[in-house]
Structure 1
Amino acid sequence: MITRATKRAALRGTGLVAGVARGIARTCRDAVSVARIDPETGVLHEPGHALDGCCLAGGILVFPAGKGSSGGSYILMSLAAKKIGPIAIVMDVADAVVVAGAVLAGIPLVTGLGAEALGCINEGDRLLVDGGTGLVRFL
């Protein structure tokens, strides 16, 4: 069970792409199609989605799973090159598109936290993500 004490400690998943980032959580409870992030602005354009219209630049993208086009890998790489994409990704279920994009872009990636742990990360929480160790710490 996730408690307030957990939020003062850390969550542990599986680190898939090494690197450390500190930032604000951009959180949603639905799958995300990273191919729908505008490569010129970093804004997600997915009508009906909780993060539709939100700029993901400089945030830590927290979501349960990816969906959609394989073009998302290129989008993540392009966003990172322009410094207008997420600085880290935390997701429960890894998928090839997001993993490949994170690897190409050098975006720290942690997966496998489990739905309950992922659900305790709220929009605006300050996090430290360590993609090498799989650690997600609340700051």
Structure 2
Amino acid sequence: MVPIKLKGRTIARGCAEGEVLLSKDPISFLGSVDPKTGIVVEEKHALAGKSIRGKVLVFPHGKGSTVGSYVMYQLKKNGAAPAAIINLETEPIVAVGAIISEIPLVDMLEKSPYEVLKDGDLVRVDGSGGYVEVLGRSAGNTEN
């Protein structure tokens, strides 16, 4: 496999690795995600019924209430938060939530994560360095 390293913009510092969980739907942490379990409970959401716990959560941007930042913090306190987050472009609610919860977050990658990443890929998100590195491919991702 050819190494893939994508530069982006640092939003929340730190470094974490995990399996990619992709959503093309925006996420509202208030009402869409159970803060105790990390399971997406919004019925018509692309990730409905799936857990974000320990995943590298890829979604375009957040939506909804400013309370979503605190819900992200609750997820972290409950051990149900994603390991890291990648956004197309982060808005303030998700940015604040990631920072106070110490969840590494990068956005504005040099290539769209939807073109490069697939569910189950193993990646490292380096929020301090501002990049995402693909460490391994899922069985369904034969690109590169």
Question: TM-score w.r.t. structure 2 length?
Answer: 0.87
Measure the CA separation in 2 of the matches of 1:29 and 1:39.
Answer: 21
Higher helix share: 1
Measure the CA separation in 1 of the matches of 2:45 and 2:10.
Answer: 27
Deviation readout 1:35-74 (Å, 9 max, x if unpaired): 2210111111112111011111011110111111111101
Measure the CA separation in 1 of the matches of 2:66 and 2:48.
Answer: 20
Pair 1:48-2:40 in alignment: no
Ranges in structure 1 where 5+ consecutive residues have no aligned partner = none
RMSD: 1.4
Pair 1:127-2:85 in alignment: no
Size of the aligned set, in residue pairs, is 133
Which segments of structure 1 move beyond 6 Å, counting only runs of 4 or more?
A: none
**Structure 1 match to 2:89:** 93
Deviation readout 1:86-114 (Å, 9 max, x if unpaired): 01110011111100100110100101116
Q: Secondary structure at the match of 1:103?
A: helix
1:117 deviates by 2.0
Measure the CA separation in 2 of the matches of 1:30 and 1:13.
Answer: 20
1:64·1:118 contact (CA, 8 Å) conserved in 2?
no
Task: Give the fraction of aligned pairs with identical amino acids, expressed as a percent.
Answer: 36
Q: Secondary structure at the match of 2:88?
A: strand
Ranges in structure 2 where 5+ consecutive residues have no aligned partner = 136-144
Superposed counterparts of 1:1-139, under 5 Å: 5=2, 8-35=3-30, 36-113=32-109, 116-119=111-114, 120-139=116-135
